[in-house]
Amino acid sequence: MKVTIISIPVRDQEKAFQFYTEKLGFLKNKDIPLGNGNRWLTLVSKEDPNGPEILLEPAPLHFEPSKIYQDALMEAGIPYTQFDVKNVDEEYNRLQKLGVVFSLAPKEMGTVKVAVFNDTCGNNIQLIETLS
């Protein structure tokens, strides 16, 4: 068994697509119209294009419990998911220059360094670097 897709709930698929590709650097993998303006829209990492896909899921628009859960995580400041990076400080500086808003600047926490940003689509996302 292996992970092939991770779903991230977004309130606007096109806005999320622009953010995740233009600012974060992910690549479009699949973009299949599903009707009613919804898409099966997946992205992959430039560093691992054959790895797991991110599905930009419009669930909060169509399923109220998803929206409530997403809102509760944002309000509590809890990241929806995390992305591993080689250097949190470098990624933090790069993303800040692109206008990405961080709620947590790089901070060491034991054997990792983390930072948290807002993806503009209803989620906090955590960057994590494993320290040697």
pLDDT score, position 62: 87
> Which residues make Cβ contacts (< 8 Å) with residue 56, sequence separation at least 6?
8, 10, 13, 16, 17, 20, 39, 41, 42, 43, 121
Distance CA 117, CA 123 (A): 8
pTM across the whole model:
0.94
pLDDT tens column, 21-33: 999 999 999 999 9
Report CA torsion sign: 69, 80, 106, 111. Answer: positive
- Choice between 61 and 109, residue whose per-residue pLDDT is larger: 109
DSSP 8-state class, residue 45: B
Instruction: Please state the domain extents for the chain.
Output: 5-130
Kindly report the length of the chain.
132
Using 50, 70 and 90 to split pLDDT, how confident is the model at 36?
A: confident
pLDDT tens column, 40-98: 999 999 999 999 999 999 988 889 999 999 999 999 999 999 999 999 999 999 999 99
CATH number of 5-130: 3.10.180.10
pLDDT score, position 61: 85
User: DSSP states of 50-88 as a string?
Assistant: TSPEEEEE-HHHH-HHHHHHHHHHHHHT--SEEEE-S-H
